[in-house]
Amino acid sequence: MSSSLSTSQKRISFMDFPNSKVLLVSRLDGTRGPLGVAKAVHSRLADKYGCKLEEFFDFADVFKLIAEIPFKYKGYTICIHQNGFRLPMAFCWLSKLDKKNRYFLVVHGVAAEERKYRPVLQRDLKLEPKLIREFPNLICVSEFERGVLKRLYGREHGITVIGNGVDLSSEISPRALLAKKRSSYPPVIITTGGYEECKGCDLALLVLSRFARETGTRPRLIVCGRDTAAVGSNRSLCERIAQEGNVELDYRGEISDKKELLKLYQEADFYAGLSRFDTFNVSVLEGAAACCVPIISSSCGAVGLFSDESAVCCDIEADGWEKEVAATMIRLCDDDAHYREIASAARFVAEANTWDAISEKYWDALTGRD
């Protein structure tokens, strides 16, 4: 395996816990997307239950691990976090030969849908149907994703749904944030998907343009995240909507400093997560946890955790949806009590879906304890 692992990672990966029969396999050289999810879940399961952990970085690592598993890990449940399609496909083939172990694949995205909004490799589009149909057991990150896999690939059996989680910062005082008066105009809204077309910054601006028109004020949208062609940037469209709609567009780029991001979250009066397609969209939970404000979310991914009492949920395919969302925002800006009720309920949703709680769900599913 790769020699670039840290000392602490090596110690966790290869310690022998005879009562543990779970092996977690993932590429952990990152902190965003599926890699960040894998890192959060793996660290907790390893710490609490002593389950084993193997990392891979390239094909050489994977082929070595595949050769070792039938002998080194007999009788294990093996859980792979999806990172592309070629490497998980190798484990799919192994599962057909190795009948002494159970195999799970965590599906973090659906390339056939995401290709509408960002570049996707043709080989991934060819591999995805076979992988989804043939992998023995799947873990979907939302009921929404489960429905997509059924619609596209007819997969219904062997699926467990376990959402993503969130860290609750010790630097946040929910009571103090929830006590803030929010009836002043104009509001500040934050979104963290950058200018990715899929993440819907332009949709948030359509709502705020309507808000500005109805109230005669100039709301401000803070945008954090990427702006590259690789993720399907629509920055020019966003800038045009903001200019024509009298919205202050405040682009901050990618922010790696957690304290800086936390400060921006706490400036906000609303969090907007209006993805066109997202199997989960963990940033919605992060917004609920860090902002302690009402969440405005589209009807995909993580929105399944929320209700009308804990978020402003909307169907971005419906006629006049932006007008309805703007009207709801205006009512909340005019009603402190109702505003705080929804903000408090959103924070409660985040508190019920911490990484500690989500990791327990993984353990239950992988050990058959559920």
The answer to whether residue 318 sits within a structural domain is yes
- Judge if 202 and 61 occupy the same domain: no
The answer to whether residue 56 sits within a structural domain is yes
- Judge if 188 and 74 occupy the same domain: no
The answer to whether residue 211 sits within a structural domain is yes
| pLDDT attached to residue 46 | 84
| pLDDT attached to residue 251 | 96
Give the model confidence (pLDDT) of 328-361 as tens digits. 999 999 998 899 899 999 999 999 999 999 999 9
| pLDDT attached to residue 18 | 40
The answer to whether residue 2 sits within a structural domain is no
Mean pLDDT of 155-181: 80
| pLDDT attached to residue 370 | 55
CA angle 252, 276, 41 (to 5 degrees): 75
Residue 229 belongs to a domain with what CATH number? Answer: 3.40.50.2000
- Judge if 154 and 190 occupy the same domain: no
Distances from the Cα of 218 to the Cα of 191, 215, 295, angstroms: 17, 9, 20
Give the model confidence (pLDDT) of 88-102 as tens digits. 999 999 999 999 999
- Judge if 188 and 320 occupy the same domain: yes
- Judge if 11 and 74 occupy the same domain: yes
Mean pLDDT of 53-63: 82
- Structure tokens that stand for 265 in this block: 């979250």
- Judge if 188 and 150 occupy the same domain: no
As for how many domains the chain has, the answer is 2
Mean pLDDT of 154-183: 79
Give the model confidence (pLDDT) of 171-216 as tens digits. 667 666 666 656 567 999 999 999 999 999 999 999 999 999 999 9
The answer to whether residue 198 sits within a structural domain is yes
- Judge if 237 and 299 occupy the same domain: yes
- Judge if 268 and 160 occupy the same domain: no
- Judge if 203 and 101 occupy the same domain: no
Q: What is the mean pLDDT of the chain?
A: 86
The answer to whether residue 224 sits within a structural domain is yes
The answer to whether residue 1 sits within a structural domain is no
- The residue segments making up the domain with residue 250 are 174-351
Mean pLDDT of 208-233: 90
Residue 8 reports pLDDT greater than 70: no
- Judge if 134 and 100 occupy the same domain: yes
Give the model confidence (pLDDT) of 69-90 as tens digits. 999 999 999 999 876 788 899 9
Residue 147 reports pLDDT greater than 50: yes
- Judge if 341 and 194 occupy the same domain: yes
| pLDDT attached to residue 9 | 38
The answer to whether residue 119 sits within a structural domain is yes
Give the model confidence (pLDDT) of 268-317 as tens digits. 999 999 999 999 988 888 888 888 889 999 988 888 899 889 999 999 99
- Judge if 86 and 143 occupy the same domain: yes
